[in-house]
Amino acid sequence: MADNFYITTPIYYVNDEPHIGHAYTTIAADVIARFNRLLGRDTFFLTGTDEHGQKLQDTAASRGMEPGAYCDEIVKRFIDIWDKLNISNNDFIRTTQERHKKVVQHILQKLYDEEEIYKGSYEGWYCKYEERFWTEKDLVEGNCPDCGRPVNRIVEENYFFKMGQRREWLIDYIKAHPDFIRPEFRANEVIGYLNQGLADLCISRPKTRLSWGIELPFDKDYVCYVWFDALLNYVTAPGYLDNPGNFQKWWPEAIHLIGKDILTTHAVYWPCMLNAAGLPMPKTIFAHGWWLMEDTKMSKSLGNVVRPLDLADVYGVDPFRYFLMREMTMGHDSSYSEEAFINRYNSDLANDFGNLVSRLTKMIASYCGKKLPAPDEKQEADLEIERNAVNLNEKVVGLIDDFKIYMAIEETLQLVRLLNRYIENNRPWQLAKQGDIKRLGTVLYTACEGLRIAGRFLYPVMPAKIAEFSQTFGIGVDTLKSEESLKWGFLKPGIDINVSSGLFPRIEQKKKPAVEPEKKKTKEEKEEFIDFEDFKKLKLKTALIEEAEKIEGADKLLKLQVNLGSEKRQVVAGIAQHYTPEQLVGKTIIVIANLKPAKIRGVESNGMLMAAKDKNGLRLLTVDGEIKPGSGIS
Ligand code: MSP
């Protein structure tokens, strides 16, 4: 393993609400980064946000904001949440940053100049929500196969990247590099996908449809496809254009940690893009599984997400980090439940680890005056602890390098459990009673050293709690993390030991979960209510249509003269395709009488009539029987 270590998370869509799925990838990357720093490797940990594309443009527009200003506002959600979850990223990249735009345009121009990008005509089904083109056979009941929403038939000129010609090269590369796509079964999935053929990739979107993106440097009428732009973040941040030295140092070591949902873009598009740009491949793409809620993926559109801070606020950041890392077998799916969270917390943290810290420090306080006793002659049981503690480093390093965080934690917890059994078997309380000071000293010293070493390996998972734990031995967390602290015998007899009893207090299983998943609002719930006062502002009146005529040059409009009792008014209405002028004269309709006058196609309109519409057409609202024109409606 090289001494430089570079790990990335996906860059998250900035308009998504962060949930435990996003938190999982980011915490896993953080734990791996912290482990690598612990090993003395120079580490670069990158996360960030993906800020271009149709969805963003639409959401910003629906809030009446410029997309850029909207991104600036909501990116804080991710920055804040990572801060609260103690994420130790070295850089945070936003695809709207100038440094990134420069890289994307540079690569686009280079590929265009080298004829890796060409212009062609495209006809297909486009899903604006997924921002993807589909072929007829991809569609499911005529809808987008990914999100189930309607698609539009689009024929347009676009730019294409010559991805298809790299199919065989990529298959060979994956086969020759078993570490490239992990776990192995994901590599097989990618090969299966490639075996079905590989088309060129449409990498542009015409500005007439989407303007929120990075402009193609060779054609100002287009912006870059959001994935082509987003993937390049991984080379922008280490300095592809502005810091070649750094880039050389980090890029070849890159490890992309992603969820299985974005495997194709990372394991197919991205290697082809790098290959065309003449850049080396990342070292590894590791795809983990999903957090499920009752067997379905957690996602905002399904309305079953658990927000990370809800859990962390109730139970603490470090227990939350611990649960996510220990519970999921990295690479496979896992189901979330608060019950599982509490069980895991109580068994591992409260019972096994927290209890041991508290029992041991209390015994040292009462039998040894709060001073760490000196060890005496070692017996086999003591040597067993020493061996296990000393060997833990090698085991953990191997497991972390193999992305098995959950097993690295389990190995550490096994040492903790061994220590608990050791205490039970060697009964320090009896040794104290018998006055066997020498044996008592050996047992308490051995247990303390074992515990300290176990705690050290939990640091990457629970940095704040382990900093607190290091105070038990009167050493700072930096000392606990140091390389010398790996050695058996690091703690000197005679040092002060502080009693620590509140590290992980037990949690009672609750009948009702403290953290409910955020339910998707039903349409009715989303509908905003207005006060009666607001309704009263509308002046609705009956009006008798006395005259109606077409407006020249406007197929949809009719000009009506209506009688409102005390006054006559002219109203312009878009109903020409549903009523002829003759059908209208003599009808009593409903108009909004206090709407600001407006000119429609140059014709003055003083009010608006009301009509109901469905897919078969439009019908005017009228009254049920005789009533005077100008009557109020309430
Ligand atoms: N913007 C793209 C990624 C571009 S990377 C060049 C994107 N963003 S995302 O906001 O949708 O984040 C997707 C990632 O969030 C997944 O790959 C995964 O890492 C994480 N998760 C989202 N939901 C998840 C679960 N339910 N479970 C586990 N992780 C999941 O895709």
**Which residues does 329 contact at the CB level (< 8 Å), separation at least 6?**
289, 406
- Residue 513's nearest CA partner among 318, 310, 327 is 310
Q: Which residues lie closer than 8 Å to 331 by C-beta, 6 or more apart?
A: 182, 183, 186, 286, 287, 288, 289, 403
Q: Where are the alpha helices (DSSP H) in 281-354?
A: 308-315, 317-327, 338-344
Q: Which residue's C-alpha comes closest to atom 25 of ligand 1?
A: 21
User: Could you count the other beta carbons within 10 Å of the beta carbon of residue 518?
Assistant: 15
Q: What is the Å distance from ligand 1's center to 438 Cα?
A: 56
Task: Give backbone dihedrals phi and psi of 219, rounded to 5 degrees, phi first.
Answer: -160, 105
**For residue 559, what are its two tokens?**
């000009």
Residues 370, 435, single domain; the answer is yes
Q: Cα(254)–Cα(38) distance, rounded to whole angstroms? A: 18
CB atoms < 10 A from the CB of 516, how many? Answer: 10
Answer whether 262 contacts ligand 1 (Cβ < 6 A): yes
- Ligand 1: which residue has its CA nearest to atom 24? 21
In this prediction, residue 16 carries a pLDDT of: 83
Q: Are residues 262 and 406 in the same domain?
A: no
Closest by CA to 362, choosing from 241, 506, 503, 162, is: 503
The answer to whether the CB of 215 is under 6 A from ligand 1 is no
**Which pTM was predicted?**
0.81
Classify residue 332: in a domain, yes or no. no
Domain boundary at 486, 517, 550, which?
Answer: 486
pLDDT value at residue 523: 47
Query: Measured from the CB, is residue 214 less than 6 Å from ligand 1?
Result: no
Same domain for 288 and 343, yes or no, is no
pLDDT value of residue 240: 98
Residue 342 domain-assigned? yes
Quick check: 419 and 450 in contact, CB under 8 A? yes
Answer yes or no: is the C-beta of 229 below 6 A from any ligand 1 atom.
no
Q: Does residue 502 sit within a domain?
A: no
Distance of alpha carbon 224 from alpha carbon 227, whole angstroms = 8
Q: Is 474 left (phi over 0), alpha (psi -120 to 50) or beta?
A: left
CATH number at residue 155: 3.40.50.620
Instruction: Verify that 158 and 272 share a domain, yes or no.
Output: yes
Residue 514 lies in a domain: no
Residue whose CA is at the smallest distance from ligand 1 atom 29: 21
**For residue 257, which atom of ligand 1 is closest to its CA?**
19
Q: What is the pLDDT of residue 308?
A: 67
Range of the domain at 138: 4-311
Q: Round to whole Å and give the CA distance between 369 and 600.
A: 91
Which DSSP helix (H) or strand (E) runs through 431? Answer: helix 428-434
Could you give the number of structural domains in the chain?
3
List pLDDT tens digits, range 241-277: 999 999 999 999 999 999 999 999 999 999 999 999 9
- Pair 242, 300 in one domain: yes
Give pLDDT, residue 1: 52
158 plus 230 within the same structural domain: yes
Query: Ligand 1 mean position to 217 CA, how many Å?
Result: 29
Distance CA 452, CA 473 (A): 8
Contact 304, 230 (CB under 8 A): no
* Domain C-terminal end among 270, 295, 311: 311
Q: How far is the CA of 258 from the centre of ligand 1 (A)?
A: 7
Q: Which amino acid is at 484?
A: E
Do residues 162 and 228 share a domain? Answer: yes
Same structural domain, 381 and 420: yes
- Residue 299 Cα to ligand 1 midpoint, Å, equals 10
321 assigned to some structural domain = no
Q: Answer whether the bond into residue 183 is a cis peptide, omega within 30°.
A: yes
Nearest CA to ligand 1 atom 17: 259
Residue 524 falls inside a structural domain: no
Ligand 1 contacts CB of residue 298 (under 6 A): yes
Nearest CA, atom 16, ligand 1: 259
Residues 370 and 240 in one domain: no
The 3-state secondary structure of 191-208, one letter per residue: HHHHHCCCCCEECEEECC
Quick one: pLDDT at residue 526? 46
| Residues 171, 209 within the same domain | yes
pLDDT tens column, 461-479: 999 999 999 999 999 999 9
- The atom number, within ligand 1, closest to the CA of 298 reads 26
pLDDT of residue 227: 96
Q: Is residue 133 part of a domain?
A: yes
State which residues of the chain have pLDDT below 70: 1-2, 300-301, 308, 511, 518-531
CATH classification at residue 342: 1.10.730.10
Q: Are residues 238 and 363 in the same domain?
A: no
Find out whether the beta carbon of 324 lies less than 6 Å from any atom of ligand 1: no
How many residues are given for the chain? 634
Q: Using CA atoms, how far apart are residues 218 and 215, in angstroms rounded to an integer?
A: 9
Which CATH number belongs to the domain containing residue 597 in this structure?
2.40.50.140
- The per-residue pLDDT for 46 is 98
Is ligand 1 within 6 A of the CB of residue 297? Answer: yes
Same domain, 91 and 141: yes
Q: Is residue 148 part of a domain?
A: yes
CA distances from 38 to 468, 479, 486, 491 (A): 18, 11, 11, 19
